[in-house]
Amino acid sequence: MSGDGTASVSTHILDTSAGRPATGVTVTLAARAGDTTWAAVGTSRTDADGRCKDLPAPAEGTTHVRLTFDTEAYLTARAADPLPVAFFPEVTVTFAVAPGEHYHVPLLLNPYGYAVYRGS
């Protein structure tokens, strides 16, 4: 849990078709309070372990967070047979947050599917 009343967010990406972390994927974090407009919070890139360790905390009062994973370049580069286009050029995950809670949201990715869940 975060100690200052704001939610915190982390993520990682596992390429399930390769059985290894997805490196170099850009992840953008946006947030909103209630039904207000989405506000950009920050951007990061996955490291060698597929993790984004430097996403900033959303502002106090945030009720919803959106993670956008720019998967196109990664999927195209990793394809065994070059794809004409990445089937999922981006993955967007939106979820509700509560003050003081930490949310770890992993993305399990393969060329034609993905899954997300609330991790720990």
The secondary structure of 17-58 as a DSSP string is: TTTEE--S-EEEEEEESTTSPPEEEEEEE--TTSEE--PPPP
**The tokens of 4 are what?**
């200052």
3-class DSSP state for residue 117?
A: coil
In a domain, 99, yes or no: yes
pLDDT value for 77: 85
On whether residue 2 sits in a domain, the answer given is no
- Whether 66 maps to a domain, the answer reads yes
Query: pLDDT, tens digit, for every residue of 5-64?
Result: 789 999 999 999 999 999 999 999 999 998 899 999 999 999 999 999 899 999 999 999
| Residue 3 resides in a domain | no
How many domains does one find in the chain? 1
Phi, psi of 73 (to 5 degrees): -60, -40
pTM (global) more than 0.85 = yes
Q: Is residue 92 situated within a structural domain?
A: yes
The residue range of the domain holding 99 is 8-116
What CATH number corresponds to the domain at position 88?
Answer: 2.60.40.180
pLDDT at 1: 45
Domain-embedded: residue 55: yes
